[in-house]
């Protein structure tokens, strides 16, 4: 099989019943490591969204009427295309998203897992035979597709955070409109369109339109769109939720995180510091599951800080496309400036830099902050950069209180020498996900994923959640013969 992007047909276009000119014009996608232009993609506007939503609504019923095995077969073909073209998918993640090769390979593996899990959905039981309170009445409940699902995906894990909604939504009989972030419009958009195009998905069912706030707002308010699945920042998620709520859409919000890694005094500190470094610095800390607050018991805090700082100082930073590095660039200069602000304000408030802390262009080194308290910006804000703020606490009770002292509720992790102790502490943490003797960055296609509070509105993803997310119940009764009533 040749390259998915061999043809120039997609350049400067959106995917909507084929590759077509975008009413919103075009935009260049930039390599953050170099500033080079990698490609030009179509930029959708509100008119593009309206046209696509109408086309998707018209095409969806025929797709929903296909048998489950037919839809499952298409998802399996899509997985095969990903496997055959994984080098190309990984290459775009590295160059367009600034990630290291290991992260790119891991993300493509996650995409494959989501596609295979989605392929299993259409052949599962899709209803219940219900008891009836009246003789002669047959009563069933069945799952039916929502119709058109809008997916708004971010730039940090652009392929998996699109596919985990696109694939199950299609598998369960919906049409989909995908709006990827313009910063990763090829890896998170064009390639997704090409995969399903090659797999033979009928026209009109899948539309891919990169864009900024205008098409996102149009998607949230379009009357032909039955659901919005949004992954992104909490601030934008609030706006999407409000806009979608006005049209009474179903809304799935997977938002930010300010996640705690709790290190207890019986933990193996070599292992704990490795988990802390991985959780804080993977993909330059640009992950909603990043370990953003390292909460360490006082008796082991000095040793943990020393070990974590040495790990941070040893990690090379550079262009992941040309060099063997552990960290690549941040996505853009604005993100670098925000990380610099948070670190500077936190140091001004009394914290100490133990490693890193000085940017070079779009590169920000792994940074460890000591002496962080709950009043400081590095504790309160989601940094979305490679910064590990360390907070020292006196005991387990204070560790729990400090971990829960946030509006976010996505994930937490606990490092301990006793699984029983870790599980007891996990029971007290107010997050949608907890990992004992692990770090915060975990994902399984078959596990429920989501957070509470400012992190979102529940466990929206994972194959166990897909039926609830992308279908609705319909109750049907029938009788052999109609009968009369008292009036």
Q: Write out the catalytic residue numbers.
A: 254, 288
- Which residue from 375, 421, 413 is spatially nearest to 397, judged by alpha carbons? 421
CB 390 within 8 A of CB 373: no
CB 414 within 8 A of CB 293: no
- Which residue from 131, 130, 126 is spatially nearest to 142, judged by alpha carbons? 126
d(CA 262, CA 411): 11
Q: Which residues contact 83 (CB under 8 A, 6 or more apart)?
A: 112
CB 469 within 8 A of CB 253: no
User: In the numeric block, which tokens belong to residue 364?
Assistant: 């920000």
d(CA 206, CA 314): 45
d(CA 418, CA 177): 47
Distance of CA 349 to the CA centre of its chain: 33
- Angle (CA) 54-189-463 rounded to 5° is 85
Burial (Cβ within 10 Å: 0-12, 13-18, ≥19) of residue 334: exposed
Q: Where are the beta strands (DSSP E) in 68-130?
A: 127-130
Q: 3-state SS string over 320-373?
A: CCCCCCCECCCCCHHHHHHHHHHHHHHHHCCCEEEECCCCECCECCCEEEECCC
Main-chain dihedrals φ then ψ at residue 418, nearest 5 degrees? -130, 115
d(CA 321, CA 421): 43
């Amino acid at each position: 099989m040749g390259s998915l992007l061999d043809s120039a047909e997609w350049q400067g276009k959106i995917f909507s019943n084929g590759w077509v000119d975008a009413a919103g014009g075009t935009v260049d996608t930039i390599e953050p490591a170099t500033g080079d232009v990698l490609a030009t993609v179509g930029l959708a506007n509100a008119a593009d969204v309206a046209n696509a939503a109408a086309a998707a609504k018209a095409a969806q019923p025929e797709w929903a009427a296909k048998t489950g095995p037919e839809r499952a077969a298409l998802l399996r073909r899509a997985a095969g295309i990903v496997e055959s073209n994984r080098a190309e998918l990984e290459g775009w993640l590295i160059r367009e998203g600034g990630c290291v090769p290991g992260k790119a390979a891991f993300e493509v593996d996650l995409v494959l897992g989501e596609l295979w899990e989605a392929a299993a959905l259409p052949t599962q039981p899709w209803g219940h035979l219900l008891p009836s309170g009246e003789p002669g009445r047959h009563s069933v409940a069945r799952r039916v597709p929502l119709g058109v699902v809008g997916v708004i995906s971010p730039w940090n894990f652009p392929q998996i955070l699109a596919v985990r909604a696109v694939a199950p939504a299609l598998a369960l009989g919906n049409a989909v409109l995908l709006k990827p972030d313009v910063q990763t419009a090829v890896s998170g958009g064009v390639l997704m369109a090409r995969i399903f195009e090659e797999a033979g998905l009928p026209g009109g069912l899948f539309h891919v339109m990169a864009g900024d706030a205008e098409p996102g707002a149009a998607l949230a308010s379009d009357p032909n769109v039955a659901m919005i699945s949004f992954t992104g920042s909490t601030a934008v998620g609030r706006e999407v939720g409000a806009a979608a709520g006005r049209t009474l859409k179903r809304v799935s919000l997977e938002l930010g995180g300010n996640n705690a890694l709790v290190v207890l005094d019986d933990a193996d500190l070599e292992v704990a510091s490795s988990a802390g470094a991985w959780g804080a610095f993977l993909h330059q800390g640009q992950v909603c599951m990043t370990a953003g607050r390292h909460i360490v018991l006082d008796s082991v805090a000095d040793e943990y800080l020393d070990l974590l700082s040495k790990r941070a100082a040893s990690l090379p930073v550079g262009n992941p496309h040309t060099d063997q590095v552990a960290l690549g660039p941040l996505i853009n200069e604005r993100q670098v400036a925000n990380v610099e602000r948070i670190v500077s304000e936190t140091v001004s408030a009394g914290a100490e830099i133990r490693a890193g802390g000085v940017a070079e262009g779009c590169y920000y080194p792994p940074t460890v902050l000591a002496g962080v308290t709950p009043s400081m910006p590095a504790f309160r804000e989601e940094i979305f950069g490679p910064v590990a703020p360390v907070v020292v606490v006196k005991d387990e009770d204070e560790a729990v209180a400090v971990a829960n002292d946030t509006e976010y509720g996505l994930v937490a992790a606990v490092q301990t020498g006793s699984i029983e102790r870790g599980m007891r502490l996990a029971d007290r943490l107010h997050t949608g996900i907890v990992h004992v003797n692990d770090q915060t960055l975990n994902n399984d296609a078959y596990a429920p994923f989501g957070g509470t509070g400012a992190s979102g509105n529940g466990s929206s993803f994972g194959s166990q959640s897909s039926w609830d997310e992308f279908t609705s119940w319909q109750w049907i009764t029938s009788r052999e013969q109609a009968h009369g009533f008292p009036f």
